[in-house]
Amino acid sequence: MVRNSDLARSRLDDRLKDFPAPGDLLRPHRGWIRAIRDALGMSSRELASRMGVRQQTISDIERSEQHHTIQLKTLERAANAMDCRLVYALVPNTTLEEAVNAQAMQKATQQIETIAHHSRLEDQAVGEDELAIQIDELATQLASRRGLWAER
C-alpha cells in the first residue's frame, strides 16, 4: 500500500525535476529587485511611486534583499510593481526519494553497527555480507516509517 508521504514525495519529485539548476538562478549581487529595476530602466523614485512608498524605502528594500532579511510580502509587492511574479521554492539538492533513502540507510547502518559491535563483544560476530543485507532490509523498513528524521 502506498502511503500519503510516499505519494506526496513522488509528486513533488516530478514537479521539481524540471526546475532550473541552482546555479542558473543565482541571485544577482545587488539583488533581484535592483537587477530587474535597472533592466527595466525604472528609477527608484518610479518604483516607489508604483509601490506607494517613499523613495528611501526602495533603498531600504533593496538593502534588505541584499542582506537576506527582506520579507516575502515586500518582495512580492516589489515584483508586482515591476510586472513580475515572485517564485518561491525549496529545491532539494537530490530527489526527495534519494534523501529519504540516504537517511534510512544512515540510520540503519548506525543501528546495525551498534548491534554488531555488541555481538562481536559477545563473540557472536556476523559476516560483512550478512551485515549489508541486514542494513538494506532495515533501511527499507525505516524509509516507510514515521520518525525517520528524529535525532535518536
Secondary structure tally for the chain: helices H, strands E: 7, 0
pLDDT tens-digit map of 1-28: 557 888 899 999 998 888 887 677 788 9
Same domain for 138 and 113: yes
Q: Is residue 24 part of a domain?
A: yes
34, part of any domain: yes
Instruction: Give the predicted TM-score (pTM) of the model.
Output: 0.73
The 10s digit of each residue's pLDDT in 47-106 is 999 999 999 999 999 999 999 999 999 999 999 999 999 998 888 888 999 999 999 999
In a domain, 87, yes or no: no
pLDDT at 96: 94
Give CA–CA dist 138/111, Å, rounded: 9
pLDDT of 121 above 70: no
Domain boundary among 53, 81, 109: 81
50: cell is 508604483
R_g over Cα of the chain? 25
Instruction: Verify that 148 and 109 share a domain, yes or no.
Output: yes
* 100 and 73 belong to one structural domain: no
| 31 in Cβ contact with 60 (< 8 Å) | no
**Enclosing domain of residue 62:** 20-81
Residue 145 and residue 97 share a domain: yes
Q: 86 in a domain, yes or no?
A: no
Please state the domain count of the chain. Answer: 2
Residues 6 and 31 in one domain: no
Domain boundary at 81, 101, 124, which?
81
Domain co-membership, 76 together with 43: yes
Q: Could you tell me the three cell numbers for 92?
A: 532539494
**Domain harbouring 76, CATH code:** 1.10.260
Look at residues 62, 81, 100 and tell me which one is the last residue of a structural domain. 81
Residue 128 lies in a domain: yes
